Structures are given as structure tokens and as C-alpha cells.
Structure 1
Amino acid sequence: MPGIMDILLKVVGGLGIFLYGMESMSEGMQKLAGERLKKIISALTTNRFMALLVGVVATVIVQSSSVTTVMVIGFVNALLMNLSQALGVILGANIGTTVTGWVLVLKIGKYGLPMAGLGALMGIFSKDSKGKYKSMLIMGLGMIFFGLELMSDGFRPLRSMPEFIELFQKFHVTNFGTLIMVATVGALLTALVQSSSATLGITITLAAQGLIDVRTGVALVLGLNVGTTITALLASIGAKPNAKRAAYAHTIINVVGIMWILPIYNQYLMFLDKFTDSAVETTRYLATAHTVFNIVNALLFVPFLPLLSRMLEKFVKGEEKVERKFTHLDSRILETPSLALDVGKKEIISLDNVIKGMFEYLKEAIGANLDSEDKKVRMVFETEDRIDLIQKEMFGYLKELLKKDMLDSNVDKARNQLALVDEYESLSDYITDIMKLHLKLKGNQLTLNTEKKSGIYELQEEIEEFLEFVAVAYKSNQKDIMIDAVNKSNRITAKFKKLRDEHLARIVSGDVDPMVSSIYMDILTNYRKLKNHIYHIAEVISGEKAI
């Protein structure tokens, strides 16, 4: 008979393989379903039942309620989701995670190792990232079943060891006190390993080997629903008040769920007996217990989500000081690259709107001959400083994203966003430089004549139209824009040359103040540089510029 160390090594090894398989399968599914997940999240409305459905589907895709809840914390923190939506998604995640139990119902443990091997071979011979993620999914699934098989083999000898039989018998649910104790053990074990799937796998294995009965198994399964909330609580540390409220709601929902189910535990088991024979289908019985509890708990809570939301807003105040940020970027979203890129794109679109505001202030400053004390002039300089800080946040965010294992297409998108942020920051620099040149004229009590101002307005108007053209293309994912971009760029260049040549002709005639002449030429040159950077943005959007 194997010794205790042999049993321990096999069980620990099986658990490790099982957990790694869950992680690989989850990561593979996330990467392959990234775009689909993005569409699912974007379907969110204030409808509580729609949010519930989104939570179910998203969790089935990523195969982890912890991943979904952490994502939700990130979305709420980034202001992409309100608290009411988040609570609905969290309820749905509790239901979606029960799919793992049904995966384990499949009796294909002996095929786990061949599946893992097949997945590994697919990964070796795959030439693109999508193929590699498919191999991760298959390999992960195989490792889940192989890990369960190893744990089952490891626990099997314990059935014939009197001391262990006696130990496990003490662990059985015999009254309300032991019921609470076993549920607490399930919660603590899940909080410790931060994986409800691990607790579920161990519970199913112990029950399948007859080391615990189904009464005890169901109590452990109920307890893991509380333990799994620790991940969201950890993710909420340092988050905004609404994100913290979402994390606390996850814990409240699951704790209250345990509080109402434990007093009617015997009746609950009698209800389950109508669907599954616990003596014949132990694994199916535990999976049913997990699913039914979370569905009923979710349906009970849905009508009270607005009330829970108001309670959390009352008790979780938003007065705590957090580091000032200039974007809605949140590192918690980086685990889902497609969604992280969507957030990055929204920030770049916001940058475009900020630049348009700077152009408007610049035009008014030149037209009304405003000085440095005017609010609109100050706004240009303040906005340029803000864009510098936005660029810094975006660079940090996107560089962290590029460290993630992503599809090749997502890597290209992240690099493009880095390039676009850099180009928009350059636009703010040149607008600020033009404003400085205007203030230099003002400080020397000089001004541009009506003709020169008119020429500048026309040039700026065409540049703004060019910027609007590329912004619309970026929002609508239009790539076939280079013919129009070249035409617009050439038209602006021709306008610049016309204004420059007219000015040079006046210099020859001696009809221009030297300082006004120098500053006017610098202003025109900066407008030409603005055009160049907008053209670079068009190249990035079309994919014609190497990043």
C-alpha cells in the first residue's frame, strides 16, 4: 500500500496540474473570444436581467467568475459600467461559474493526458497566435481531467486506512453546527487558493472516492461561493468608491445566499434528490447543487439590486483621496486585451476632441488679439500640460498591455495606439508653439494684419477638416483612407506655399516689419508641421506606417 508521502505527492501534483489546466483553458478562451466578449460587454444596458445574462455568458467564456468580477471592478473604476450594471453582471458570474462543475461531470479522465498531448503538439506546429491559443484551450482541458484523475488515484488508498476513515467521518455534516463548520472550511479553502474550481475539483474527487458523503460535499460547494469573493475584494483595493461597492456587493450577495440556504439545508437536499440520484451520480449531484443554488440566489437578488446599490452608496462613502488621474484607464482591464484596447481607443478619441478645443481657443486668441491673462489663452497651455500627463498614463498602460500574451492583431493595435498618442501629443505642442508666437507679437505690441489673419484662418480650417477626416476614420475603423489623405495633405501644402510665397514677395518689396515677418513665417511653419502629424495619424490608421 502506498505511503502517506506517495499519496500526498500524487494529490498535490494532480491539484497543480488541474489548476494549471484551468488557467490555460481560461486564458485560451479569453484570447480566442476577446472580440466576442467585447461585443457582449458592449450590449450592457441598465436592464438588470440583461446585465445578469451578460455576466453568465462572459463567465462561461472566460471560465472563471473571479476573472469576470475583477473585470467588472476594472470597468466600474474606469467609468465604463455603472454600479447597477455591475451588480447584475456579478450575479450572472455566479451562475456562469457553475459550468465548471458540469465540465467535471464528463467521465473522460483517462483521455485527459492524450488531450493535453494533442494540445501541446498543436501549439508546437501552430504558425499563428490563434492556433497557439486553440492549443492552450485543448491542452488546458486535458490537464483538468488528467489532474482530476491523479487526485482520484491519490485519494483512493485512503479508503482502506482506518485512521483516515475516522478523520473524514468527523468531517461529515451531522447537524447544523457541523454544517456551518464544513461550509466555512469550503470558504476558507477557496479564499486560500483563490480558485473555486480547485475547491470544487477536490470536493468532487473526495466524494467520488467515498471519503465524504454528498451532504458534506454540498456544504463545501456552498461555502466556496463565499470564499471566491476574496479575489474581487483584493482587486478593489485602491479603486474608486463605486468599484469598491461592486466588490462588497459580491461578498454580500454570496454571504446572504449562504445565510438563507443553510437553515433549509435538509429541504434543499430533498429538492435536489428529485433531479439526481446522489448514490449513483455523485459528481452530477454536486454540480446540480452548485448551479441550482446560484440560479435561485441570483433570481432572489435581482429585484433588490437598486436597493442594494443605494445601501452601498450610503455606507461606502466616496471621500477617500485617490491619486489624480487624467484618463479612465484601469490596469484591472489589461487581463482582457480586446477590452483594454477598446478603453485605449476611447481615450484617443477623447484626445481628438481636446485638440479640437485647443484649435478653437487658438483661433479666438489670434482673432481677438488676446493676451496671456485671458482664460482661453491659459486654457491652451493648461490643456497641453494635461495632454502630456495623458500621454504618460497611456504609455504606461499600453506598455503593460504589450507585456501580455496577446493575439498578433491585438499587438499591432496596441502599438498603433502608442503611435497615435504620440502624434496627438505633438499636435498639442505645435498648437501651443503657435500660441506662444501670438503672445510674442502681443508682448512687442505688434499684430498681424487682416490679410495675414485671414490666411491663417483658412489654413487652420483646412487642417481642422483634415483632423476631423482622420478622426472619423479611426472611430469607424476605416482603413482605406490614404488617397483622400494624400489629396487633403497636398491641398494644405499648396495653401502653405501660397501664403509663404505671397509673404516673401512682400519682404522683397520691403513692406513688412522684420519681427512680424519672422514670427508669421514661424506660425506658418508650425501649421505645416501640424499637417504632417495629422498625415502620420492617417498612415497609422491605414496601416501604411511602420510602427
Structure 2
Amino acid sequence: MTLMGEGLKKVAGNKLELVLYRLSGTPIKGVLLGTGVTAVIQSSSATSVMVVGFVNSGMMKLGQAISVIQGALIGTSITGWIICLSSVEGTGWVSLFSTSTLSAVVAVVGIILRMFSKRSADQHVGDILLGFAVLMFGMQAMSGAVAPLKQSEAFIQLLVTFSNPVIGILVGALFTSVIQSSSAAVGILQALSMTGAVTFATAYPIILGIAIGAAVPVLLSAIGAKADGRRAAFSYLLIELLGVVACALIYYIADAIFGLGINSWVVNPVRIATVNSLFRLATAVLLVPFNRQIRGLVTLLVKESKGEKSINRELDRLEERFLQHPALAIEQSRLTVNSMARAAEGNLKAAVKLMSDYSEEDRQRIEQTEELVDLYEDRLGTYLVRITARELDAKQNESVSKYLHTLSDFERISDHAMNIAEAAQEIHSKKLRFSEDARRELAVLTGAMLEILELAVSAFVESDIEKAYVVEPLEERIDILCDEMKIRHIDRIQQGLCSLSQGFVFNDILTNFERVADHCSNLAIAMIELHGDSYDTHSYVINLKELHSHNFDALYEHYTEKYSI
């Protein structure tokens, strides 16, 4: 089941998690999406663990999570219907569609795709087919192995014991909590039903118990989560408990009053799949109208721990639980890197403003933001490296490479913001004042530096390659401006128009501005080169300048006129 579910998820393009995250806005949407995603990945626990991650990182509200979990409980019943195919047999031409024949054909096709195809999509289809074939073979083997139990008095007596609702529910819950898969537990019950010794009175309470036991892996996933994450996990257990109590009371009271007479029915795999699906559907229908009350109850029962406040909500996106789902982990990394980029950009702009309007409070804020950007780099770098251990497609590899290549540039831009803030502090404390020519030149360079910063960051955040091509001509102009300004400032010092102390600070500012432009160039080049499936910064710059590609000359002339001293 795991092999088949993973294959289905990969064939779907690894986008199911993103769909679940983006489109679960209303209760009905949440239920439908939870059902659909779980039907594909064949595990309500996996869907619910994802949801716990969404809530824990602040990406999804608890109310949305409850709806998705209710849908996941419906979707997990699909596996029971797939398992029903293992009981298809016949004679004559019907035997061509029997489980044995179908499993053999599917297995051969799966092996061919898995072993001989070079396309990853074909290999994933092979995984699906092999998973299906093994599932069918396993169910047949299990059914054959348990067939003699029909003659066992001890086995029949045990089943009679399970017909006691309390015992049956406890056994189902305990068994499922051990194997941690409700689909597998239902499949085993279906295999036992092929002995012909399992009645409805035995199967029904076990199915109810299986639902409760399925909450164990979800609860375990919430260990270490914040209050909202724990509430989402507990809501899974609460929904299952309420559903079991409601469906048990409805059936057993109705049977006592009206004598339904179905307790003695002998069940088979199809009947078990039907009962399981109806129970799951009834749970959702009964509880969806009370989602607000369920949310209030879990909020009341699961308290927020002291000292649980987040250092930074953006960093909460980097959820450990998302690493099992690369598409989702990369999307959260993208959003977090974008936040880091904007933080570095804002910090540099604040530092530039500090040179003309100094405030110690603003300088301290710049220092705090610099520490935050350092934390971004550390957390993101570790998280992205862990993503690379997963199976990624070409597009995902490109995204992860882009983020890993650019983290240090954003961090260094913020470092230079801190350096500029320290220069502003020195100007303020020593009451330094540059000459009129120096101030005019610095204003021109500042305008160019802020423009290249905005260009590079917006190109990165918006994944705009055309904007990235504009960065290098402006960076070339800034380099020349810095060289000219250093020469002119030396002349002013020699003429006595500026002092040595002013010269040191002025030179530090120029160096930091030039380095910021270099890092902006690195960002743009990383985007362009990785977009073209290569990463050779040196050769790119040479080609851009020597071949005069992408309007380099025209753009350079434009910036030469715009930023002249």
C-alpha cells in the first residue's frame, strides 16, 4: 500500500500537498480536498500529519484543519474497495479478469517500467503497478492461509467474543495503534472475512475500533509541536471518538428497538468495505455542522504552554513534517527565502537613511534585523540541505539550488547594512561633515545602489529573469562610479577640502556600497545560470560583456547617463 500510494503521489506531480494547503478555504472544500488527497496517497494519517504541520507553522487555521481531517477519514476507505479486487475469481473467459491473471499482468508491466524505463514518471507508474500486484498477491495469500480457521472452534469462539461492542472496539483500536494503519487493519479484517466465519456483529465494532486506533500516528507526530499543532492532532482523535460513539449508539439503539436482524449476516470483503465507507461518511456528515464546537473543545482541552511564543513566524514555515513532502517543503522554503530577501533589503535601506538622519534606536533595530537574517541563513541552509536528500524532479532541484546559492548573498547584504550603520554612527558621534562635492557624489551612488538592490530582490522574489538581466549593466556602472569617487576623494584630501578621518569613513561607505552591488550581481547571475541548467558565474559575465547580449551596451549607456558625477 505504501509503494502504491507513494507512486500515485509522485505521478500526480508532487503537487497534492500544495493543493491541500492553498485550496482548503471552506469546510466543504476542506472535506473534499481531504478526501481526494487521501484517496491518492492511501493514508489518512499521512494527510493528517501534513495538516498538523500546516497548523503548527501558522499556514492553516485550526477550523480548516478539522474539515480536511474529516475528508481524510472518508478518503482512507478507498483502500478497502481496492482490496476487494483480490476476491475476484471465475471460470472460462471470466478467469481472464481474475485476480491471479490481473496481478500477473500488472506485475510484468510494472517490472518492465521499473527496470527498463529511464523516465522517472514511467518508473513511478511501475511502482504503482508493482504495489498493486503485491497487494493483490498478499491478500490472496493471507486469505488462503486463514481459510482453515473456519473449522477452528477456538477461532469461532474468539470472533463471538469480539461481537461484544466494547471488546470489539478495544481490540480494533489496540490492533490498529500497533500497526499504525487503518487501511491495513481493514484489509486484514477483509482477509479474515473470506473464511466465512466473520459476522456483522463481529466486524462492526472492530471497524469502529480501527478508526480510534488510527489516531495514534497522528498524535505521535504532534510531539514537540506548538499548541495549535497539538490541537489539530487531538482533533483527529476527537472526531474519531465522536463518530464512533454516534454511529455505535445509532446502530445498537436502532437494533434494540426495531430488531434490524443483520448481526448474524456473514460478511465478505465487499460488505466490510461498504460498512467502513458508510461509517466514515456518516461521521463526516454528522460532525461537519459542529466544526466550530469541535474547535472550541480542542482549544479548551489542549492548553498553550508557557514560553511557547515563536521567535519569528516566517521561520515557523520550515516544518520538520514537510520534509516528507518535497513540493511543500520547497514552497515553504521559497516563501521564507523571500522574507529573508525583503528583510535584508529593508535593513540596507534603513542603514542608508541612518547616514542622514541618525537615531540610536534605529541603529539597534538594524542590528536586531541583522541577527534575524543570520538566523534565516542558518535555519534555511540546514532545511534546504535536508530537502536535497529527497527525490526531486528537475524543477525542484533548480529551485533548491537557487536558494542555496543565494542565501549567503542576502546574509552579506545585511552584514553590509550593519557596516553602513556603524559608519553612520561614527559620522554622528564625531560630527563629521563631508564636502558638498562628496555629498553630491554619494547621493548619486546611493541612488544607483538602491536601484540595483530593488532590481535584484524583486527579480529573485518574482522569479523574473528579464529583470535579472538588467542587474549586471548597473553593477558595472556602480563599480566605475566607486573607482572614480575614490580618486576624486583622494584629490580632495590632498587639497585639504576633506580630512583623513572623513576619508576613512567615506572609503568604508564606498566599499560597502560596491560589495552590495556585487552581491546583487551574484543573485542575478545565480538566477540566470540555474535557469539555463548551469552555474558558471565567471563565464557568464565574460559572455555578457564580450558578446553584448541582452542589451548590455544600451542598458549600460542608460545607467551611465542616469548616474553620472
Q: Normalized against structure 2, the TM-score is what?
A: 0.84
Matching residue of 2:244: 258
Task: State which drifts further: 512-521 or 250-259.
Answer: 512-521
Matching residue of 2:19: 40
Matching residue of 1:186: 172
Output aligned runs, 1:114-513, within 5 Å: 114-160=105-151, 162=152, 165-172=153-160, 178-265=164-251, 282-322=268-308, 325-326=311-312, 327-328=315-316, 329-370=318-359, 374-513=360-499
The answer to whether the 8 A contact 2:348-2:413 is kept is: no
Amino acid at match of 1:88: S
Shift of 1:299: 1.6
Secondary structure at 1:155 match in 2: helix
The answer to whether the 8 A contact 2:17-2:325 is kept is: no
> Structure 2 CA distance, aligned partners of 1:505 and 1:120?
78
> Structure 1 CA distance, aligned partners of 2:433 and 2:448?
23
> Structure 1 CA distance, aligned partners of 2:462 and 2:328?
17
Matching residue of 1:96: 75
The answer to whether the 8 A contact 2:33-2:71 is kept is: yes
Shift of 1:297: 1.0
The answer to whether the 8 A contact 1:187-1:227 is kept is: yes
> Structure 1 CA distance, aligned partners of 2:84 and 2:265?
13
Secondary structure at 1:317 match in 2: coil
CA spacing shift, 1:367–1:449, aligned 2, 3 Å: farther
Amino acid at match of 1:216: T
> Structure 2 CA distance, aligned partners of 1:346 and 1:79?
13
Shift of 1:113: 5.0
Shift of 1:445: 4.0
> Structure 1 CA distance, aligned partners of 2:117 and 2:255?
48
Shift of 1:470: 3.4
Secondary structure at 1:216 match in 2: helix
> Structure 2 CA distance, aligned partners of 1:268 and 1:427?
71
Shift of 1:47: 1.7
Task: State which drifts further: 191-200 or 114-123.
Answer: 114-123
Shift of 1:508: 4.9
The answer to whether the 8 A contact 1:109-1:148 is kept is: no
CA spacing shift, 1:485–1:215, aligned 2, 3 Å: farther
Shift of 1:49: 1.1
Amino acid at match of 1:29: L
Amino acid at match of 1:434: I
The answer to whether the 8 A contact 2:150-2:197 is kept is: yes
Question: For 1:162-200, what per-residue CA distance to the aligned partner results, in whole angstroms no more than 9, with x for missing partners?
Answer: 3xx43233323686xx12211221111111011112101
Amino acid at match of 1:284: V
Output aligned runs, 1:40-79, within 5 Å: 40-79=19-58
> Structure 2 CA distance, aligned partners of 1:168 and 1:391?
63
Task: State which drifts further: 50-59 or 39-48.
Answer: 39-48
> Structure 2 CA distance, aligned partners of 1:455 and 1:78?
47
> Structure 1 CA distance, aligned partners of 2:123 and 2:261?
43
Matching residue of 1:10: none
Matched, 1:105 2:84: yes
The answer to whether the 8 A contact 1:84-1:305 is kept is: yes
Question: For 1:91-149, what per-residue CA distance to the aligned partner results, in whole angstroms no more than 9, with x for missing partners?
Answer: 11111111111211223642335534532332222324333333222222222212212
Amino acid at match of 2:268: T
CA spacing shift, 1:486–1:128, aligned 2, 3 Å: farther
CA spacing shift, 1:312–1:134, aligned 2, 3 Å: same
Question: For 1:305-338, what per-residue CA distance to the aligned partner results, in whole angstroms no more than 9, with x for missing partners?
Answer: 1122122223322233348544111101111110
Matching residue of 2:526: 540
The answer to whether the 8 A contact 1:66-1:228 is kept is: yes
CA spacing shift, 1:228–1:363, aligned 2, 3 Å: same
CA spacing shift, 1:293–1:465, aligned 2, 3 Å: farther
Matching residue of 1:87: 66
Secondary structure at 2:392 match in 1: coil
Amino acid at match of 2:62: L
Shift of 1:266: 5.4
Task: State which drifts further: 66-75 or 477-486.
Answer: 477-486
Amino acid at match of 1:229: A
The answer to whether the 8 A contact 1:173-1:179 is kept is: no
Secondary structure at 1:320 match in 2: coil
The answer to whether the 8 A contact 1:189-1:224 is kept is: yes
> Structure 2 CA distance, aligned partners of 1:116 and 1:480?
48
Unaligned runs of 5+ in 1: 1-21
> Structure 2 CA distance, aligned partners of 1:120 and 1:322?
50
Question: For 1:25-68, what per-residue CA distance to the aligned partner results, in whole angstroms no more than 9, with x for missing partners?
Answer: 22222333355314522443542111111211221222211110
CA spacing shift, 1:205–1:534, aligned 2, 3 Å: same
Question: Equivalent pairs: percent with the same residue?
Answer: 26
Amino acid at match of 1:257: G
CA spacing shift, 1:112–1:426, aligned 2, 3 Å: farther
Matching residue of 1:25: 4
CA spacing shift, 1:375–1:50, aligned 2, 3 Å: same
Matching residue of 1:12: none
Unaligned runs of 5+ in 2: 89-97, 537-565
Question: For 1:186-232, what per-residue CA distance to the aligned partner results, in whole angstroms no more than 9, with x for missing partners?
Answer: 11111101111210110110002224234322332222111111111
The answer to whether the 8 A contact 1:334-1:340 is kept is: yes
CA spacing shift, 1:323–1:25, aligned 2, 3 Å: farther
The answer to whether the 8 A contact 2:482-2:510 is kept is: yes
CA spacing shift, 1:156–1:32, aligned 2, 3 Å: same
> Structure 2 CA distance, aligned partners of 1:45 and 1:456?
51
The answer to whether the 8 A contact 1:113-1:146 is kept is: no
> Structure 2 CA distance, aligned partners of 1:525 and 1:95?
62
The answer to whether the 8 A contact 1:427-1:533 is kept is: yes
> Structure 2 CA distance, aligned partners of 1:243 and 1:286?
33
Amino acid at match of 2:81: W
* Higher RCO (CA < 8 A, seq sep 6+): 1
Amino acid at match of 2:155: L
Shift of 1:536: 1.6
> Structure 2 CA distance, aligned partners of 1:274 and 1:454?
95
Secondary structure at 2:15 match in 1: helix
CA RMSD of aligned residues (A): 2.8
CA spacing shift, 1:128–1:354, aligned 2, 3 Å: same
Amino acid at match of 2:272: L
